[in-house]
Amino acid sequence: MREGAFSVANRLYGITFTERTEVPKYHPEVKTFEVKDADGSFLALYTTDYHPRPGKRGGAWCGRLRDQWVKDGKDVRPVVTNVMNFTRPAGDAPALLSLEEVQTLFHEFGHGLHRILSRVTYRSMAGVPRDFVELPSQIMENWALEPEVLRGYAKHWKTSEPIPAPLVEKIGKSELYGQGFATVEYAAAAYLDMNWHTLTDAKLEDATAFEKASLGKIGLIPEIVSRYRSPYFQHIFGPGGGYSAGYYSYLWSEVLDADAFQAFREKGIFDKATATAFRKNILEKGGTAEAMSLYKGFRGREPSVQPLLVRRGFAKAAVPAPATN
């Protein structure tokens, strides 16, 4: 699976990953890769730490042991980590990942690419706002399930047969299941968050009534409840939750990644010019410009919600006009 992710990055950006075993590491299971640009210049060190063990935090994330920045005129290249808790190998079988784990691998790898390819001057500018940070990660998940990509890496562990096309088709269809419900319960929570955090009156007597009014405003039907109710909405009230007035950003990132991937769909999923535009305008830029202007630099316009509606099964894909010449 990791080789699959590396090959996507190679076909998009020309970058290569070579394992380096002599680099010191904090645990024997950590693997270290030297990342080089298409011209052979050094870009970053990238480390993976894939399996759970006692004392290791759960979940999956992308971290850095060193940021990219320019110090005294010298480009300091980053050390980027991807930490996961994937299924361990069992018995004679290698680690066989679930589909969700594969998507997680591509997702965190996308965050990794954002750091690996960074070209900023000031360390504080390497990061991006929360409602933009999931674009580079989520867009990578698209390639994971492209038939052309699957054929290269999704092979049966005993027979080496590529994943059968009808199964891939079924996976695609199953992804549409329950999208209406999921979208509405999520959007309800996002509106609730925004309503709480745009309150201008500090005096509030009845939180339940406030919540009811907030959900009433969007016409939420009784069959669907908000994904989170106010008393346990940790993302927006909890210590370190960090999503106050920002819970919408998960869905907004999907608007961005669906619209951005649409650019690849139109030109070809490995189209060099599109990949270079994505790299130069987004992956290299960190937070050096306002997120919307970075996006427009890549896409030439603001994002459209249409590709996300199509992805979720709410709209039909526009049929491309027949070529006239």
Number of residues that bind Zn ion (CB under 5 A): 2
Decide if residue 137 touches Zn ion (CB under 5 A). Answer: yes
Helix (H, G, I), strand (E, B) or coil at 62: strand
Decide if residue 81 touches Zn ion (CB under 5 A). Answer: no
From 32-40, 94-102, 129-137, 213-221, give the range in contact with Zn ion by CB under 5 A. Answer: 129-137
Instruction: Confirm if 307 and 256 have CB atoms less than 8 A apart.
Output: no
- Of 152, 145, 218, residue with least CA distance to 3: 152
3, 22, 100, 108: the catalytic one is 108
Decide if residue 281 touches Zn ion (CB under 5 A). Answer: no
Closer to Zn ion by Cβ: residue 32 or 137: 137
Beta strands of the chain (E only): which ranges? 16-19, 31-36, 42-49, 61-66, 69-71, 74-76, 79-83
Gap between the Cα atoms of 47 and 177, Å rounded: 35
Decide if residue 195 touches Zn ion (CB under 5 A). Answer: no
Residue 170 CB, shortest distance to Zn ion, in Å, is 26
Closer to Zn ion by Cβ: residue 77 or 107: 107
Helix 249-267 vs helix 179-197: angle between axes, to the nearest 10 degrees?
130
Gap between the Cα atoms of 195 and 187, Å rounded: 12
The answer to whether residue 108 is catalytic is yes
> Hunting for tokens 């961005």 — which residue is that?
256
From 63-71, 114-122, 136-144, 276-284, give the range in contact with Zn ion by CB under 5 A. Answer: 136-144
Residue 58 CB, shortest distance to Zn ion, in Å, is 15
Residue 311 CB, shortest distance to Zn ion, in Å, is 18
Q: Which residues are catalytic?
A: 108
Please report, as ranges, the residues that interact with Zn ion according to CB under 5 A.
134, 137
